[in-house]
Amino acid sequence: MEPMYEICLNHPGKRIKLAVMTVVEVSGNPTTYERDQVRQTLNTMIRDYVNNSNEQDRICLVDLAKGIPCHSMTDQEERKQIWDDGIHLKPAGYDRIATLVFDTIKTKL
């Protein structure tokens, strides 16, 4: 993913801003499951990339993994409103993504 980020940030003639997002959990992969460990590693790499970027005025992290938890969501009613089948979101889940994106990028506009 880093090469894609670099292409955006190094685009000639434009001061493009970049919103980078983490990958959300899914209910079929508990946090101890090997596939979820890969997701967690990827998210750590994404967070580190953003935190260590020399372009802090042009890059921001939309941490979907923290903003839309699956396994750690304790409110079952909220979970039913957000998650459809444990992989896909319901409209309220996509609304939450929109809110997380807006709240993150508004400081960079």
pTM, two decimal places: 0.86
What CATH number corresponds to the domain at position 93?
3.40.50.1110
Could you read off the pLDDT of 2-49 as tens digits, one per residue? Answer: 999 999 999 887 788 999 999 998 877 666 788 888 999 999 999 999
Q: Which residues lie closer than 8 Å to 36 by C-beta, 6 or more apart?
A: 25, 29, 30
Q: How many domains does the chain have?
A: 1
| Average model confidence (pLDDT) across the chain | 89
Find, among 15, 16, 13, 18, the residue nearest to 60 by Cα: 18
Domain holding 100, by residue range, is: 2-105
Find, among 3, 108, 1, 10, the residue nearest to 59 by Cα: 108
72-89 exposure pattern, b = at least 16 Cβ within 10 A, e = fewer:
eeeeeeebeebbeeeeeb
Angle at 42 between CA 47 and CA 58, to 5 degrees: 35
pLDDT for the residue numbered 53? 95
Region 65-94: mean pLDDT is: 87
